[in-house]
Amino acid sequence: MQDRNPTIAIIVDDMFFASKIRAAAEAAGRTVRSIKSREQLDSELNGSATILVIVDLNSSRLDPFEAIQSIKSITDLASVPVVSFVSHVQTNLIRRAQEAGCDYVLPRSVFSQMLPEIVAGSFDKLNTRATS
């Protein structure tokens, strides 16, 4: 298990963003696992060595807010950072993600700009750029 790359789980419907995340993650030596259903979320994340979860708050495949709550309720994953992105004008979704336990809620543009740092596990700049 030590020879495996750290894993990033993504809940992202948009194939463009998923591809962008995958490319940045691979450049950082990370493996990406796409989560496309509630069953997959439950089976693949429970007991996994996931180091980061990225959630598109506009996901339609599964409820992103329930997914965030579920991730944060799993003992082994409670401390794993959850980073979500959404349009900066969708303030209701931003608030709901924060209430669900999301660690960082970013405007889509900031998420794109900060993606290399995010997948590398560097969150120090996110505190000042995250949406409140």
CATH of 7-129, one of 3.40.190.10, 3.10.105.10, 3.50.50.60, 3.40.50.2300: 3.40.50.2300
Domain residue extents for the chain: 7-129
DSSP string for 91-120: HHHHHHHHHHT-SEEEEHHHHHHHHHHHHT
9-18, 37-46, 54-63: range with lowest mean pLDDT: 37-46
The string of pLDDT tens digits covering residues 72-127 is 998 888 899 999 999 989 999 999 999 999 999 999 999 999 999 999 988 887 76
Q: How far is CA 1 from the centre of its chain?
A: 23
Torsion of CA 66, 33, 94, 106, to 10 degrees: 160
CA 114 – CA 109 distance, rounded (Å): 9
pLDDT at 1 over 50: no
> What is the three-class DSSP state of 102?
coil
- pTM of the complete model: 0.90
